[in-house]
Amino acid sequence: MIEAQMIGRLFGVGLGPGDPELVTLKALRAVRQADVIAYPTTKLGQSNARSIVSAELTSEQIELPMMYPVTTELTDHPGGYEGAMSGFYDEMAKQIAAHLESGRNVAILCEGDPFFYGSYMYLHDRLAHRFATEVIPGVPSIMAAAARLGTPLVRRDTELVVLPATLSEEELAARLNTSSAFAIIKLGRNFAKVRNVLVRLGLGDKALFIERATMASERILKLSEVDPLNVAYFSLILIPDSRENHKDRVANGPGRITVVGLGPGSPGWITPEAQQALCDATDLVGYHTYLNRVPMRPGQGRHGSDNKVEAERARHALSLAESGRRVCVISSGDPGIFAMASAVLESVEQGPSAWRALDIHIVPGLSAMQAAASRVGAPLGHDFCVLSLSDRLKPWEIIVKRLHAAASADFALAIYNPVSSERKWQLAEAQAILSEYRSPETPVVLARSVGRDDEKVVFTDLGRLDTSQVDMQTLVLVGSSTTRHLSLADGRQLIYTPRSYGA
């Protein structure tokens, strides 16, 4: 057994982003006192980590270059890249352990911070449970980049999200769907993919590119100026929080009111524009159920109300905006389809003249009928009509007239608000009216809570429609005379309405 006093100490030393003057005093002390200096290097013998502290190394110290078996090239290792790197770290851990067991202190050099995407952590996993270990933090490249770019990265309650550029384009797009501050690291050969995503999401103008921050070869470029074939691995993109804090937003400029559609249920259906508006708002106004779908943010006011007080809700939101606040009025689905956009604009027309001076915007959302149609194929693939069976704001006689008109014109239909706790009979009456013009075999879809955990989609037809299966959360799709069934090889049933009439 090795004597305790003979065992060396392991140091994971963070050296910061590249500028030798950004190395901490503690890191320098560990480097100067170490018996063995281990550092990553390429097959060409280049080591950025060693170059940062090369002036501090002495001839008495043992240098242990850790030559990566793979950088950007392919490998013929039977375990692929992961297998090659795992074997490499196993071998380096074995060599370092030998020095430690011989009583030598070993400093493993790491650019940036050892525990922030640093290669040191893989050796730490293999050695820290066997030897006395100290990890010395370093300035991360992200913070160095923010300093060199001269931009604050986050303010107040803003989140900072760090994404590796090695993620797929779809994953990057999904995770960038908020208005947090972002840092995208490990660009290199992934730059073109990242730029495509940023441009697609409308973030290209906000993105700041920097290469080799704080090093002599540092470059700061506009995204459009970067050559995708000439991007260093040590490059990153920052998307800082450009928002003013809540207090400033309230005090400066005219009030703003934005009517936002959340989509029908799934968080993945909320658009980036809607996310931005929700994050920028000082106040959220909406029906309790819809308001609960929006994550809480410190300092942001939330004003919930019942589902049947749309006009009061709109006036409350406009009054808040009149006081200089940035208000989001929340709707499910699309705010312009039987929702709050009309309620807000009607209140503006009927309200005080000051409301017409507000900065008013409508942010669209994925509608419930689009989501429901997508679950079953393309029933709205040709001309279609959208109706609400609610007679709370319009007479039932008008609804009957429109049902006759839509049915006689052979429109496919999307029917909102088919029943409620107080309206049990209207859907059966609508079924009877449609049956005067459509065959009993006309496809009908009952789509309940699409996009939520309790989603339920039922295929039926006009003749067999059981109205007792329908509630206020259900959207009803009724085909036209040309709507067809389609059976797939896997047994799935879809319906669609051909684009050419009578085809």
**8 Å CB contact between 286 and 381:** no
pLDDT exceeds 50 at position 380: yes
The tokens for 269 are: 């259906």
Position 272 scores a pLDDT of 87
Please tell me the distance from the alpha carbon of residue 83 to that of residue 101, in angstroms, as a whole number.
27
Please tell me the distance from the alpha carbon of residue 19 to that of residue 36, in angstroms, as a whole number.
22
Number of CB atoms found within 10 A of residue 309's CB: 13
The domains of the chain, with CATH numbers, are: 4-139 (3.40.1010.10), 143-239 (3.30.950.10), 246-363 (3.40.1010.10), 369-496 (3.30.950.10)
Spatial CA neighbour of 438 closest among 497, 498, 478 = 478
Kindly indicate the confidence band of residue 175, based on its pLDDT and cuts at 50, 70 and 90: confident
The tokens for 64 are: 């242990």
Sign, Cα dihedral of 352, 356, 361, 366? positive
Return the DSSP state at 132: -
Sign, Cα dihedral of 242, 246, 247, 251? positive
Say which range, 69-83, 163-177, 314-328, 385-399, has the weakest mean pLDDT.
Answer: 69-83
The burial class, CB within 10 Å (0-12 / 13-18 / 19+), for 228 is: middle
Kindly indicate the confidence band of residue 244, based on its pLDDT and cuts at 50, 70 and 90: very low
pLDDT exceeds 70 at position 263: yes
* pLDDT tens readout for residues 475-488: 999 999 999 998 88
Please tell me the distance from the alpha carbon of residue 120 to that of residue 28, in angstroms, as a whole number.
17
Kindly indicate the confidence band of residue 152, based on its pLDDT and cuts at 50, 70 and 90: confident
Under 8 Å CB-to-CB from 87, ≥6 apart: which residues?
69, 77, 79
Please tell me the distance from the alpha carbon of residue 251 to that of residue 396, in angstroms, as a whole number.
47
Strands across the sheet with 301-305, in order? 301-305, 283-287, 326-331, 256-261, 359-363
**8 Å CB contact between 130 and 142:** no
Position 140 scores a pLDDT of 94
Please tell me the distance from the alpha carbon of residue 363 to that of residue 262, in angstroms, as a whole number.
9
pLDDT exceeds 80 at position 179: no
* pLDDT tens readout for residues 274-299: 888 888 888 899 998 888 888 887 77
Mean pLDDT, residues 146-150: 89
| Claim: this prediction has a pTM higher than 0.85 | no
Kindly indicate the confidence band of residue 245, based on its pLDDT and cuts at 50, 70 and 90: very low
**8 Å CB contact between 326 and 284:** no
* pLDDT tens readout for residues 22-71: 999 999 999 999 999 999 998 787 889 999 999 999 999 999 999 987 65
Position 135 scores a pLDDT of 97
User: Which CA distances in Å does 218 have to 17, 28, 146, 208?
Assistant: 11, 23, 13, 14
pLDDT exceeds 80 at position 189: yes
Position 289 scores a pLDDT of 86
Average pLDDT value over all residues in the chain: 87
Instruction: Identify the residue whose tokens are 């384009």.
Output: 169
The crossing angle, in degrees rounded to 10, of helices 310-322 and 340-350 is 60
**E strand intervals along 281-321:** 283-287, 301-305
DSSP letters, 174-195, are: HHT-S-SEEEEE--GGGHHHHH
